[in-house]
Amino acid sequence: MIEGDAKMNEQNKTTLSNQNTQNKVQVEDKVQGDIATFAGGCFWCMEAAFQDIPGVLDAVSGYSGGEKENPSYSEVSAGKTKHYEAVQIKFDPQKITYNELLDIFWKSIDPTDSEGQFADRGNQYKTAIMYHNDAQRIFAESSKKQLEESGQFDKPIATKILPYKNFFEAEEYHQDYFLKRTASYQAYKYGSGRVTKLKELWADYKEETEEELKNRLSTLQFKVTQQGATEPAFNNEYWDNKAEGIYVDVVTGEPLFSSTDKYDSGTGWPSFTKPINEEAIVEVPDNSFFVKRTEVKSSQGNSHLGHVFDDGPGETGERFCMNSASLKFIPKEEMKKQGYEEYLYLFE
């Protein structure tokens, strides 16, 4: 009886210990279950993906998973540390679940890319889910398995699932970059191939809803870029602008035209002899109003820009007659600051 009692006491101790461990994990899950950390390539884009989501309280760009304390952007981007570019999210689990955050994460990346994301190559741009507790690990592993078994991809899922190690906030100018420097952010996002690839990978991917676009653009900008309207001649922002700089798509920030090719056509709209490069625009036949014309759209954003005519002064004889409402002007002295440094050669 004494030996049996001893065994029973030992079993009770083991059971109690397991229960305590389980309770501890549950408590930790509750404490840490309001933070998520994801690496998905460029943190500007990942931060933007989680903004304005009901239940998301904050999204911060930073560096995670490496050895160095408080690394700088130059160190991480040069591959000198083992950190990932990452985003850390504070969320209200009563309003949004970790699984829902995982869904947003997957649809913001190419999970089959094992060498980086889109145009960005290197370990710092690879994808990973950094779990903060056992519950997050289980959810992450389950969601990855579902993706692997979905048959949606013809390559393995490359995203790693790793225990959370650390997170260091990136420099202030990286925070809310998509809001601070919208034009250069949009130019990067489209120029890096991110948007194009995500549209290919995810059938339900939407860059922006119509309502979001309406809120971001003025009424005239929306009508012109999205509905093909034409603004009044001689009563628009850039028809007589003579400053040096480039003109970008007001929707995406994609570089379109340069002041070096702008001239006074006498029509009352900004006119150019050519785009910065042929890939920046798409020409589409337009037979509206019973007149044969050629519509010009931006290649990345599909924004209506204006029309091209064959009465221009340049070598090709083309006149690109654009709407100011489709464009945003970046002055030459602001180009480097706003991320368009590579186009300064136009003014040399």
The residue from 56, 321, 330, 335 that is catalytic is: 321
Question: What Rg value do the Cα atoms of the chain yield, rounded?
Answer: 26
Burial class (CB in 10 A: 0-12, 13-18, 19+), 77: middle
Q: What is the DSSP letter of 237?
A: S
Active site residue 321: yes
SS3 142: helix
Beta pairing class for 160-163 and 127-131:
parallel
Active site residue 45: no
Half-sphere exposure of 179 (CA within 13 A, CB side): 8
User: Using CA atoms, how far apart are residues 181 and 126, in angstroms rounded to an integer?
Assistant: 24
At 98, which helix (H) or strand (E)?
A: helix 98-106
The residue from 35, 36, 39, 42 that is catalytic is: 42
Q: What is the DSSP letter of 339?
A: T
Which pair of structure tokens corresponds to residue 44? 């500007």
Which residues are designated catalytic?
42, 321
